[in-house]
Amino acid sequence: MMGKYAKKRLAVSTAVAAVGIVIALIVGLIGGYFAGSMAAAPATATVTVTETVGAKTVTSTVEKTITSTVEKTVTSVKTVPAGPAVSRIVIGVTDKVTDIDPSNAYDFYTWEVLSNIMGGLMRYAPGTTELEPGLATGYTVSPDGKEYTFRLRPNLYFADGTPMTAEDVVRSVKRVMEINGDPAWLVTDFVKDVVAVDDHTVKFILKKPVAFFPALVATPPYFPVHPAYKPKEIDSDQTAGGVGPYRIVKWVRDVELVLEANPYWWQGAPKTKQIVIKFFKDATALRMALEAGEIDIAWRTLRPTDIQDLKGKKGIKVIEVPGAYIRYIIFNTKIPPFDNPLVRKALAAAVNRKAICERVFLGTTTPLYSMIPIGMWSHKDSFLEKYGEHNLELAKKLLKEAGYSETNKLKVELWYTPTHYGDTEVDVATLIKEAWEETGMVEVTLKSAEWTTYLEYTRKGMLGATLYGWYPDYIDPDDYTSPWVNASWTGYAYSNPELIKILEEASVKPTLAERAKLYEKAQDIWAEDAAIVPIFQGKLAVAVREGVEGVILDPTMLFRYWLIYKAS
Amino acid sequence: MADPLLNIKNLKTYYFTESGIVKAVDDVTLGIRRGELLGLVGESGSGKSTLGLSIIRLIPPPGKIIDGSVLLDNIDLMSISEKELRRIRGRRIGMIFQDPLTCLDPLRRIEDQMVETVMVHMDVERDEAREMAAKALERVGISGDRLKDYPHQLSGGMRQRAMIAMATMLHPELLIADEPTTALDVIVQSRIMDLLEDLKESMKMSILLITHDLALVIERADRVAVMYAGELCEVGTSEQISQDPLHPYTKLLLESIPDVEAPKTKLKSIPGNPPDMRNPPSGCRFWPRCPYAKDICKQTPPKFAELNGRIVRCHLYGGGKS
Amino acid sequence: MASLKAFIIARVLALIPTVLILITLVFFVMRVLPGDPVIAIVGMKAPPERVIELKKELGLMDEAGNPIPLPIQYLNYLSKLARGDFGRSLIWGKRPVLVEIMEHFPATVELAIAGFIVSIILGLLLGSLGGWMGGKTSSAVKTYGAITYALFIPWIGMLLQLFFAVWLGILPVAGRIDTGLEPPTITGLYLIDSVITGRWDSFISALRHITLPALTLGLVISGVFTRVTRTSVEEVMRQDFVVAARARGIPEHKILLHVLKNSFVPILTMMGLQLALLMTGAVLTETTFSWPGMGTFLLERIQYRDYTTVQGTVVFFAIIVSLVNLIVDICYAYIDPRIRY
Ligand SMILES: Nc1ncnc2c1ncn2[C@@H]1O[C@H](COP(=O)(O)OP(=O)(O)OP(=O)(O)O)[C@@H](O)[C@H]1O
Ligand code: SF4
Ligand SMILES: [Mg+2]
């Protein structure tokens, strides 16, 4: 008889649940139409969450610090002068935030977020690839180039009011070294030790002289983080941040990130009080949300077709700048026929970059004639000077010299990987094949391999011609040159003793002028060897609703939220 | 007609199939008297079931009742509203079918199905309805506690009894029994027939027994109607039909029963094939198989003729006056 | 009714080998998939030490750096699972897989249920209408089923977004709720949590957000339901008990209920199948509406080759799907007394 009651209960509860949900849904459908824009988000959320900033997960060792921190927050909040009027900008992205922790974050979008809730001793002047002082007022270099001493600004505070000192820089950098996460090499490859000389002075002792060290210091692994970060562990969802223009007031992974102006920031609280990042999973939805006014800015990454469409829309502004992302071909100089410089040069000359940019990417990429991207200091169009664009005459001449003809065709295999670089990759490969075959003296077979296999074969030096892409780790010409020279991951595809010497020299020379000269020379040698052939550079495109101002983008690919505001 | 209960007049029910019109019941006129057991016999496909269903207007599409009337105490069942008709179905006219298993809802207890029927027709409480159901079950020889059973828990014979109980629960004046015993084995068959006869007596109910078993009908029925290809051939008492069949088809049917004294034997086939109902022969529909067929039979359909109080439709009996 | 209880117990016991087989299958399939996951994770910029370190983390190598044989790996994995340890993600801070799953699961459940309800309402309504009325109505319903079944979710989703969000501006394009309106977590389902806590503004917001995705999902899946319901109802309608009931004077609406109950067994089977599918396969809807659920989560982790997360998620799904099937089976036995014996 138990069974009978259980059955009845099951029936009743199922029925109740079903009826409940049905009613809910019907009400929802009706409510949805009427509610309309009535249910705009209230401002209450920010108030409640602010208090939780700073002390989410804390180990017992730092408990003391935190307790005092919280007290200080409460008291100091009262004394802080009124910030800018309450205003909010909503940014939509299809990217995602990985770890809100500089010790392990190693992707562009997370670096962007980190750059807005933290800051480095050095930073890039907005709109350029040039460095300017950040948390430091400046630095000095020892004569042997192995010691960099940074002087911190006075009165630096974390977002909850905790003062920041040189000790915090030391703790944070050492934390990165100890956790040894993905980007840790940006520290460990160069830094031997870091010490706090006094409260406002921090000294880095390097393993060898590194001319671009200030550029490294501008990367997130060098950012000082709040003491709330777990000392020996990756703290992926830590919201305490560092010393930056904004602080996190709400973080729902994959859904939204709410930032609030940091009243303690050394530059003063930014113009826009609240920045909301909404995470989209689909570029079309991102675009429609912009059109519907749900977001003010559609940032990474809109589809080329959507960008094209949005350009014509009223009330929407599209801003495009060159990005830091580059694509190129690797010819493995150890594998015939690519061991023959004439072959490489001929193929480099025949490539039709413009066709790729326009036909495949609808103008959202730009032809690139050097590994060092457009917009970065020392950039030089060496490949264009040497080979021109889609220069079939030159290609034919070189091929003839190498002993090929219409009847004795050069046979090459071009490898690509179908998904890692997006669905467009096969079109890119096809256009390169077409351009090469246009010479009438080349026969190209396209081959593809799944990403990991592709990497493995490349590493083993099994593939002759491959397509790859590059996002920089630090914004310096060095990161656009040395990773390919005598590099194991390419299967040692390219090496040139003279070039190695120049690059080494450029990496230790202290002044920009001296370094620029060396990189210009390096680019010419690069073009002459034609082992790694640049194809195009990505453009950054952002679409904003009318009235949003202060959008400044540059090849650092970092969107500076503290500069944007809504003009009223 | 003595004490008529139901009068079927010129009833026409056709199926409008894609391959043509099937005149399953074509101009049938037949009366059922109070308290009688009327047997309706005919070959498979002759339209017996269609006639039965037509009485309570349950013809499935593409079937349609084209013409005619069915009077139950002067109420024309063909012209009253669906709602009024529903009050008659199950209450004044009950119906049972060949396969009791498929005629019961497999997911509901016997009780639920019976109680539902009672409560649809009568303004009674559930308990009272349940009591009536139990009584009805007991009347057909099933113990009342089987009410809780699901159909699949009963044996074939019991199921048919339950069906009968359900159909007679409200003491209908007419029970249409469409081959009620065909699916059952021989011994159970006669028990069910006994039960039906008992009920007929005790409840003073008329029964229209549809079957193709002429022997059974002769044994059990008061009167017999013989149907062929959608038309009635002959109507008479069991005695008249068995002793003195008039219509050639009835004669052949009788001859095909090997031993009248052993009525459980199945009907044997008559030479020739039943007609294609979409395109029946002109004239008398039986002529291609009729040993007495004359020329007139092929052209002119015979009309009913009364002969010593019996009705027959054949040119041999002056039916050609049409 | 002990037999129903016995039936349930038997089904629960039968679940264990099913889940075990699924886990085993997932484990070995993950090992034979092309592409070295380790290289995929560390990428082209990492040194060889990282590769070894990762192999240790993955349980492919012991502390001394020797490879662990596959059967041992399998046993280790099982013993961890038995302790409820789904492992940790290989990327993004090595978060526990179960935590990550639980972050996304409620959203999927909420969407799946809402979409499911829409599809059942549409499917049962139209399907029984078609089955009941027959003729032209039936063909119209048939066409509806064929069309909705063939609808491509991103496409219909986009149309709805375009119409209701961009043009009319009355419903949001994407997301689950407006900023700052999340109700306190009780079940993780916003609609239910907001009702429990009485936060009506949250409820309205959540409802407005779920309307379009649920409609999209429901519309597409309703095609299957209408088809199954229609054919099933049509079949039951042909059964003798319907005529018998009519012959007893039972009114049509009551007959329809009995017919529906009888048609329900195949519908229920389809529901179980669909619900399981919904849980795993709302990917397209989730993507279109940026719904933070399991579908997109799994897809993304596959792309990132987050080995442990993918494996853990698939196992998790296997268990959920088995549970859903179990529930369906129990409902089945509850509805149809013939099954229990
Ligand atoms: N639903 C239907 N659609 C089309 N034709 C039908 C339908 N039902 C019956 N018929 C046709 O109507 C004619 C009479 O059928 P009916 O079932 O009334 O015959 P019957 O005498 O009861 O036969 P049986 O002894 O086989 O039950 C047959 O030719 C049959 O093919
Ligand atoms: S009318 Fe003619 S064919 Fe028909 S039954 Fe009589 S004799 Fe035979
Ligand atoms: Mg019949």
Write the secondary structure of C106-167 as one string of H (helix), E (strand) and C (coil): HHHHHHHHHHHHHHHHHHHHHHHHHHHHCHHHHHHHHHHHHHHHHCCHHHHHHHHHHHHHHH
Q: Which residues pair with B22 in a beta bridge?
A: B15
Average predicted confidence (pLDDT) for chain B: 87
Q: Can you tell me the mean pLDDT for C89-94?
A: 73
Using alpha carbons, select from A186, A293, A278, A174 the residue that is nearest to residue A224: A174
Structure-model confidence comparison of residues C222 and A50, the more confident one: C222
A55 pLDDT higher than 70 = no
Residue A463: burial class (beta carbons within 10 Å; 0-12, 13-18, 19+): buried
Question: Per-residue confidence at A28, pLDDT binned at 50, 70, 90?
Answer: very low
From chain B, the residues in CB contact with C254 under 8 A are 116, 120
Q: In what order do the strands lie in the sheet with A201-206?
A: A136-141, A147-152, A201-206, A191-198
Regarding beta strands A565-566 and A548-549, do their DSSP bridges make them parallel or antiparallel, or are they unpaired? antiparallel
Regarding beta strands A122-124 and A131-133, do their DSSP bridges make them parallel or antiparallel, or are they unpaired? antiparallel
pLDDT of res. C46: 59
Q: Can you tell me the mean pLDDT for B149-160?
A: 88
A58 pLDDT higher than 50 = no
Residue A92: burial class (beta carbons within 10 Å; 0-12, 13-18, 19+): buried
ipTM above 0.85, yes or no: yes
pLDDT of res. B259: 61
Residue A567: φ, ψ to 5° = -80, 135
Structure-model confidence comparison of residues B145 and A245, the more confident one: A245
B108 pLDDT higher than 60 = yes
Segment 210-269 of chain C within 8 Å of chain A by CB: 210-211, 214
For B4-92+172-274, give the CATH class. Answer: alpha beta
pLDDT digits (tens, 9 = 90+) for A157-201: 999 999 999 999 999 999 999 988 878 889 999 999 999 999 999
* Neighbour count for residue C76 (Cβ, 10 Å): 12
Q: Which residues pair with A319 in a beta bridge?
A: A542
Q: Can you tell me the mean pLDDT for B42-62?
A: 91
CA distance A183 to B289: 100
pLDDT of res. C303: 73
Ligand 1 center from residue B14 Cα (angstroms): 10
pLDDT digits (tens, 9 = 90+) for B155-176: 888 888 899 899 989 999 999 9
pLDDT of res. A47: 27
pLDDT digits (tens, 9 = 90+) for C54-91: 777 777 777 777 888 888 888 888 888 888 888 888 77
Question: Per-residue confidence at C15, pLDDT binned at 50, 70, 90?
Answer: confident
The answer to whether A433 and A446 have CB atoms below 8 angstroms apart is yes
Q: Can you tell me the mean pLDDT for B151-155?
A: 88
Q: Can you tell me the mean pLDDT for A38-43?
A: 32
Question: Per-residue confidence at A25, pLDDT binned at 50, 70, 90?
Answer: very low
Q: Can you tell me the mean pLDDT for C302-328?
A: 81
From chain C, the residues in CB contact with A417 under 8 A are none
What tokens appear for A63 in the block? 């408990």
pLDDT of res. C39: 65
Give me the helices (H) in chain C, please.
Answer: 2-32, 37-42, 48-57, 70-82, 97-133, 135-150, 153-160, 190-196, 200-237, 240-247, 252-281, 283-288, 294-303, 307-335
Q: Does the distance separating the beta carbons of B150 and C335 come in below 8 Å?
A: no
Helix (H, G, I), strand (E, B) or coil at B36: coil
Average predicted confidence (pLDDT) for chain A: 83
What tokens appear for C211 in the block? 């309307």
Query: 3-class secondary structure for B223-290?
Result: EEEEEECCEEEEEEEHHHHHHCCCCHHHHHHHHCCCCCCCCCCCCCCCCCCCCCCCCCCCCCCCHHHC
Q: Can you tell me the mean pLDDT for C210-217?
A: 91
Ligand 2 center from residue B13 Cα (angstroms): 23
CA distance A309 to A320: 14
Distance from CA of C247 to the nearest CA of A (A): 30
Ligand 2 proximal residues by C-beta, below 6 Å = B 248, 284, 286-287, 290, 292-294, 297, 302, 314-316
Residue matched to tokens 């001493």: A149
Peptide bond into B62 cis (omega under 30): yes
Residue matched to tokens 């004359």: B294
Question: Per-residue confidence at C262, pLDDT binned at 50, 70, 90?
Answer: confident
Ligand 3 center from residue B45 Cα (angstroms): 7
Size (chain B), residues:
322
C117 pLDDT higher than 60 = yes
Residue C18: φ, ψ to 5° = -60, -50
pLDDT of res. A415: 95
A510 pLDDT higher than 80 = no
CA nearest ligand 1 atom 16, residue? B47
Using alpha carbons, select from A365, A347, A509, A518 the residue that is nearest to residue A433: A347
| Percent of chain A with pLDDT strictly greater than 90 | 57
Q: Does the distance separating the beta carbons of A291 and C166 come in below 8 Å?
A: yes
Q: B136 — contact with chain C (CB < 8 Å)? A: no
pLDDT of res. A43: 30
Structure-model confidence comparison of residues C57 and A343, the more confident one: A343
Using alpha carbons, select from A366, A117, A354, A376 the residue that is nearest to residue A251: A117
Q: Does the distance separating the beta carbons of A28 and C211 come in below 8 Å?
A: yes
Structure-model confidence comparison of residues C316 and A260, the more confident one: A260
pLDDT of res. B311: 87
Mutate to test the interface with A, among C290, C302, C326 (most CBs of A within 10 A): C290
CA distance A409 to A337: 12
C51 pLDDT higher than 50 = yes
CA distance B34 to A195: 117
Residue matched to tokens 């299809």: A94
DSSP B174-198: EEEEESTTTTS-HHHHHHHHHHHHH
Q: How many cross-chain Cβ pairs, B to C, lie less than 8 Å apart?
A: 76
Q: B72 — contact with chain C (CB < 8 Å)? A: no
Greatest mean pLDDT among C1-15, C266-280, C311-325 lies in: C311-325
Residue matched to tokens 């927050």: A73
Helix (H, G, I), strand (E, B) or coil at A200: coil
**How wide is the angle at C-alpha A111 spanned by C-alphas A107 and A116, nearest 5°?**
160
Using alpha carbons, select from C176, C156, C218, C270 the residue that is nearest to residue A26: C218
C175 pLDDT higher than 70 = yes
Range list for CATH 3.40.50.300 in chain B: 4-92+172-274
Distance from CA of B110 to the nearest CA of C (A): 12
Which member of C244, C335, C338 has the closest CB to residue B97?
Answer: C244
Which member of C240, C251, C254 has the closest CB to residue B97?
Answer: C240
Q: In what order do the strands lie in the sheet with B304-307?
A: B93-96, B174-178, B206-211, B37-42, B223-228, B231-237, B310-313, B304-307
C137 alpha-carbon distance from chain centroid: 31
The answer to whether B98 and B212 have CB atoms below 8 angstroms apart is no
pLDDT digits (tens, 9 = 90+) for B249-297: 999 888 887 665 555 555 456 777 888 888 888 889 999 888 888 888 8
What tokens appear for A527 in the block? 């073009």
The answer to whether B236 and B223 have CB atoms below 8 angstroms apart is yes
Atom index in ligand 2 nearest the CA of residue B290 equals 8
Phi-psi category of residue A362: left, alpha or beta, with phi > 0 → left and psi -120 to 50 → alpha:
left
pLDDT of res. A48: 27
pLDDT digits (tens, 9 = 90+) for A75-132: 333 333 344 445 899 999 988 888 899 998 888 889 999 999 999 999 999 888 888 9
In chain A, count of helices (H) and strands (E)? 17, 19
Residue B151: φ, ψ to 5° = -50, -40
Atom index in ligand 1 nearest the CA of residue B51 equals 18
Q: Which residues pair with B236 in a beta bridge?
A: B224
Q: Which residues contact B84 (CB under 8 A, 6 or more apart)?
A: none
In Å, what is the CA distance from B297 to each residue of A399, B288, B314?
102, 10, 8
Q: C43 — contact with chain A (CB < 8 Å)? A: yes
C19 pLDDT higher than 60 = yes
Which member of C240, C251, C337 has the closest CB to residue B86?
Answer: C251
pLDDT of res. A8: 43
The answer to whether A93 and A226 have CB atoms below 8 angstroms apart is no
Peptide bond into A337 cis (omega under 30): yes
Average predicted confidence (pLDDT) for chain C: 82
Q: B84 — contact with chain C (CB < 8 Å)? A: no
Q: Can you tell me the mean pLDDT for C95-105?
A: 87
Using alpha carbons, select from B17, B25, B32 the residue that is nearest to residue B67: B25
In Å, what is the CA distance from A89 to each residue of A261, A561, B63, B192, C172?
12, 9, 70, 85, 17
What tokens appear for A112 in the block? 């962007």
What tokens appear for A375 in the block? 């917009």
Q: Does the distance separating the beta carbons of B103 and C258 come in below 8 Å?
A: no
- Give, as one character, the DSSP assignment of residue C27: H
Helix/strand/coil percent split, chain A, to 5: 40, 20, 40
CA distance A224 to C59: 34
pLDDT of res. A261: 94
In Å, what is the CA distance from A302 to each residue of A281, A420, A536?
11, 17, 18
